[in-house]
């Protein structure tokens, strides 16, 4: 008698280095996948009828900002992870630009304890790098539940900022785990801030934070990688210039893109949504978006993240540039990308690589990223034919809005299974507080 049997679906199974949709039943027992294949008349305490549905390894959103501690009026670990499971996400990596910043052991362990008590899905946390904690980072990066080190090269939400290449280089030399970087050049941002102040309109956001602002920082990272012999993980790449450079530099970097930058374009997004399309780095013109899709097609892009970064409606309605940058995204990352699958922009197999398998490989996650006997039963089930209009009312985030409000998509998550238990089924929340710290093979958990 199994705990759960998922019956009659098409499972995305990895064979010969690629994912294929194969008719298969999946048995789950004590939080693990125990059988993949034809289960015939086998019995279970719970059956999930997946006829006509596709069964995916659990979706991992490797960049979110859930704002706890200190900014809980925008979001917290409970509301953020609740939105995650509603959107088919089984695991998240949360960023350190909280208040206070997550840049020491006490702050880090506070977040792990808080998530253990309230998270709907599995979780890991970045530790933030500062000029003050460089000597502690080799120990901080090995704390259970840590996914890596985050460096902000350009100012964004919070007070984490590292502008000196010498300090960044030292971090590369003294640490061993994934270093993720927000690549915008701070000096150029300061020099050009007058464009935003004088413009007083979000349409100036990609002009202020222009292509050179991003490219200059990315070029600096590549030089540090070459000098130290370490790879970097560059986040939310937005420009054609960067993507072309990174395509030639894959021995030095792994690359992330966001659904926002793959879906929306300037100036239309600012005309329609104003500051509710304002984020760092910015949404740019169509030729940049097209270049990002080329990066997905030629495997320059390794992973997708949402960069879920909520602010309240009242905050976003302030006059630009006092309006804060950041969009919600953890709940919409899978529906938006499934819609791109429907439109032929990428295959379902490619989506699974970008949102499950590749994050597991890149970050050395233990027992996740595949539908495989013995692996954790983190599973996302989707209906590729279901059409839904995304609305603000559906968004669980405390902020209560999405830039994709009113967008009709084809492809929708039907079930989110976390650690072998159903957290969401057909848009209804089921069992809460299922989340556990994600384990990694390169540290003691």
pLDDT of residue 418 exceeding 60, the answer is yes
pLDDT of residue 153 exceeding 80, the answer is yes
The percent of residues above 90 in pLDDT, for the chain, comes to 96
Asked whether residue 34 is assigned to any structural domain, the reply reads no
pLDDT, residue 156, reads: 57
Nearest partner of 278 among 240, 235, 322, judged by Cα: 322
pLDDT of residue 161 exceeding 90, the answer is no
Asked whether residue 86 is assigned to any structural domain, the reply reads yes
Angle CA 303–392–424, to nearest 5: 60
Q: pLDDT tens, 181-214?
A: 999 999 999 999 999 999 999 999 999 999 999 9
Q: How many CB atoms sit inside 10 A of residue 367's CB? A: 17
Query: Residue 317 contacts by C-beta under 8 Å, 6 or more apart in sequence?
Result: 275, 323
Higher pLDDT, 154 or 366: 366
pLDDT of residue 157 exceeding 80, the answer is no
pLDDT, residue 297, reads: 98
Asked whether residue 431 is assigned to any structural domain, the reply reads no
Q: pLDDT tens, 93-147?
A: 999 999 999 999 999 999 999 999 999 999 999 999 999 999 999 999 999 999 9
Average pLDDT taken over every residue of the chain: 97
pLDDT, residue 432, reads: 83
Pull the structure tokens for residue 223.
Answer: 């030089």
pLDDT, residue 159, reads: 62
pLDDT of residue 155 exceeding 80, the answer is no
Q: pLDDT tens, 252-301?
A: 999 999 999 999 999 999 999 999 999 999 999 999 999 999 999 999 99
Q: How many domains does the chain have?
A: 1
Q: Once rounded to an integer, what is the mean pLDDT over residues 163-184?
A: 96
Q: pLDDT tens, 31-67?
A: 999 999 999 999 999 999 999 999 999 999 999 999 9
Asked whether residue 386 is assigned to any structural domain, the reply reads no
Asked whether residue 17 is assigned to any structural domain, the reply reads no
pLDDT level of residue 387 (50, 70, 90 thresholds)? very high
Asked whether residue 120 is assigned to any structural domain, the reply reads yes
Domain span holding position 310:
58-362
pLDDT, residue 431, reads: 86
Higher pLDDT, 138 or 433: 138
The percent of residues above 70 in pLDDT, for the chain, comes to 99
46-50, 152-156, 301-305, 360-364: range with lowest mean pLDDT: 152-156
Asked whether residue 121 is assigned to any structural domain, the reply reads yes
Q: Assign residue 188 the CATH number of its domain.
A: 3.20.20.140
pLDDT of residue 434 exceeding 90, the answer is no
Q: Once rounded to an integer, what is the mean pLDDT over residues 220-242?
A: 98
pLDDT, residue 443, reads: 86
Asked whether residue 219 is assigned to any structural domain, the reply reads yes
What whole-number distance in Å separates Cα of residue 194 and Cα of residue 174?
A: 38
pLDDT, residue 158, reads: 52
């Amino acid at each position: 008698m199994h705990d759960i049997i998922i019956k009659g679906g098409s499972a995305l199974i990895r064979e010969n280095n690629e994912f294929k949709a194969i008719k298969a039943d999946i048995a789950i027992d004590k939080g693990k996948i125990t059988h993949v294949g034809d289960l015939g008349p086998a019995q279970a305490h719970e059956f999930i009828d997946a006829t006509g549905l596709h069964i995916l390894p659990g979706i991992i959103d490797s960049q979110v900002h859930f704002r706890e501690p200190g900014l809980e009026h925008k979001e917290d670990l409970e509301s953020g992870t609740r939105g995650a499971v509603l959107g088919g996400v089984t695991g998240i990596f949360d960023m350190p630009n909280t208040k206070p910043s997550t840049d020491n052991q006490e702050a880090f362990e506070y977040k792990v304890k808080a998530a253990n008590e309230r998270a709907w899905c599995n979780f890991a946390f970045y530790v933030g790098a500062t000029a003050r904690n460089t000597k502690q980072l080799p120990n901080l990066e090995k704390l259970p539940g840590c996914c890596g080190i985050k460096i902000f090269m350009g100012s964004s939400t919070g007070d984490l900022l590292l502008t000196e290449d010498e300090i960044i280089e030292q971090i590369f030399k003294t640490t061993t785990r994934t270093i993720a970087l927000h690549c915008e050049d701070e000096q150029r941002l300061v020099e050009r801030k007058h464009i935003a102040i004088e413009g007083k309109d979000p349409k100036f956001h990609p002009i202020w934070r222009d292509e050179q602002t991003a490219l200059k920082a990315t070029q600096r990272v590549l030089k540090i990688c070459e000098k130290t012999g370490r790879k970097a993980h560059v986040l939310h790449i937005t420009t054609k210039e960067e993507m072309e450079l990174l395509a030639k530099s894959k021995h030095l970097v792994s690359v992330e893109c966001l659904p926002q930058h793959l879906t929306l374009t300037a100036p239309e997004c600012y005309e329609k949504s104003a500051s509710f399309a304002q984020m760092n780095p910015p949404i740019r013109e169509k030729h940049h978006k097209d270049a990002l899709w080329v990066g997905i097609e030629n495997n320059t892009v390794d992973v997708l993240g949402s960069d879920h970064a909520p602010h309240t409606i009242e905050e976003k309605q302030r006059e630009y540039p006092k309006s804060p940058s950041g969009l919600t995204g953890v709940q919409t990352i899978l529906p938006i990308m499934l819609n791109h699958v429907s439109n032929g922009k990428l295959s379902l197999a490619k989506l699974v690589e970008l949102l499950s398998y590749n994050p597991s490989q890149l970050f050395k996650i233990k027992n996740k990223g595949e539908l495989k006997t013995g692996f954790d039963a983190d599973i996302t089930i989707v209906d590729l034919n279901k059409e839904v209009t995304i609305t603000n009312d559906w968004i669980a985030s405390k902020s209560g809005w999405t830039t994709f409000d009113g967008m009709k998509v084809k492809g929708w998550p039907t079930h989110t299974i976390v650690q072998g238990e159903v957290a969401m089924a057909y848009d209804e929340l089921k069992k809460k507080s299922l989340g556990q710290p994600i384990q990694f093979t390169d540290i003691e958990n």
